[in-house]
Structures are given as C-alpha cells and as structure tokens.
Amino acid sequence: MTISDNTTGTTANRVLLGPNTFQFACHKDVPCFTRCCHNADMYLYPYDVVRMKQNLNMTSEEFLVAHTTTAIRDMPTFPNVMLKMSDRNGNPCTFLTEKGCTIYPDRPYSCRAYPLEPAIYGDADGSMHVQYYVMHHDYCKGHDEDKTWTAKAWMADQEMDPYLEPNNGWARIAGRLQADSFRSRDIDVNSPPMKMAFMAAYNMDTFRRFVFESSFLSRYNVPDRQLDAVKHDDRELLMLGLSWIERILFGDGPLEEIS
C-alpha cells in the first residue's frame, strides 16, 4: 500500500528486508492509529474483491461500482483496480470508523501486509518468488514499538496464507500483461479478450454464470471435484478464472481445452 504524497505531505522509505527482522506494532494506542487508512493509493488483487464483497454481502458488480476505480498503470492493456476512498475530510477509506476498520477480518492484502511490501516475481521456468520490503512512512509510529518480526512470522500473524495461491496466480498473469505484447496485435483494454479476462479476475458472479450457462464446460476440461467446488466457493472459482485467463490470453496454463 502506498500513500499519495501530494495530499498527505509525507515521505516514505522502502528497505529490502531479506532474512532480517523488523520492529512494528499497530494498535489503538499508537499515536498514528488509522493514519495510513487515509488517501491510500491501493491496488486490489482479485482475491481482495472476493473477500470484501462477501463481507459486505454484495455482488461483485455492486462492489466494483461502489468501492473501486480503475486506472491504466503498469499493465498497458489491462486496468488496475483501485480501492475508492471516501469524500470525507482527509479522504479516509470508506470502511474506516473511529474504532477502526469495519471489514477488518477481510481487509485487503496490502493492509494485512503493511508495513511489508511483498514483491512477487517469476523466473523463466514459471516458478514464483517473493521479496519483502519494509515501508517507513514518516508519520508511522508503529516502528517505534518493541515487537520484532520476521517476514514469515508477520505474514502468519496477519493470516495471509489463503491469499498466497490466488495472489501468486494473479502476479504471474500481471507480469505477462506488463510485458505489453498485445498492442502489436491491436488488442487494448476495450478488446473482448481483455474484457473477458477482467470478468474472470474481478467479477465472480458474472463469471460463474458464464461457466455454467455458456459453452464453457463443453470447451474446457474442468474436473468434477473442481466443478463442484466452483458452484459455491468464490476462491475456487477465481482459481479457475485465473487458469482460464492464461489459456485465452497466452495459450497455456493448467486449464485444458477439450479436443
């Protein structure tokens, strides 16, 4: 998560953590409590949207309209989904109250990780790796607390295991989209393949209807156990969607076409 300097007047420093430890704690008695929840320039991963819309008992479409904006940034042919801030004084997060976050159990990945910034990257053989950076914003007093963490311990404390598989899958796709190999083929953000990919990544309700009400299951081999799961489990449906994106955009991945 990053903070927009032009409105907060803050400075930030990012340091590679590696095998080292860092000091940090965040609680209501820290003077800067919830300061980072204002004017946040935050990307939402696909699994973030799944968790947040379920917490709010909203459809994906309702959540995307009410709580997100899109912007073209590091993926020239695919929109980044950003969390929309409120228009209250200081532009706090919509879900922030005086007592803290109203969706805390399902808060986004970046909120969970802070002050760590996990950088996910892949090798040529398709394997994924993570490097951890520690963010220091000059307003943040959490670094003055005496609690010491390794990256692994912090991620476990913040209950991030369920996020790892879908986030790794999305990072693999995003890395390929950043390579911008589509513009030479006259494919842009409004092209049908990219709109379909966006649906499969961020709009689980529409994607579920597409899977079960179109010719999808006659074209792709989805094992019975996986098919039963995606009927009611949005995380499993997202994993199917990510594998389908790899197939339709790049012609590879685990999802096999029926010959």
Q: Where are the alpha helices (DSSP H) in 68-203?
A: 109-113, 151-157, 161-178, 192-202
In whole angstroms, what is the distance from residue 45 CA to residue 1 CA? 12
Give residue 186's pLDDT: 79
What's at 224, amino acid-wise? D
Give residue 127's pLDDT: 64
In whole angstroms, what is the distance from residue 186 CA to residue 86 CA? 36
What's at 133, amino acid-wise? Y
3-state secondary structure 110-123: HHHHCCEEEEEEEC
Give residue 37's pLDDT: 93
What's at 168, amino acid-wise? N
DSSP code string of 14-32: EEE-TT--EE----TTSTT
pLDDT in tens, the chain (259 residues): 333 333 345 677 999 998 999 999 999 899 999 999 999 999 999 999 999 999 999 999 999 999 999 999 888 899 999 999 999 999 999 999 888 899 999 999 999 999 999 887 655 455 667 889 999 999 999 999 999 999 999 999 999 999 999 999 999 899 888 876 777 777 888 899 999 999 999 999 999 999 999 999 999 999 999 999 999 999 999 999 999 999 999 999 899 999 8
CA angle in degrees (0–180, nearest 5) for 73-167-131: 80
Judge contact between 80 and 73, C-beta under 8 A. Answer: yes
Give residue 169's pLDDT: 92
In whole angstroms, what is the distance from residue 12 CA to residue 6 CA? 12
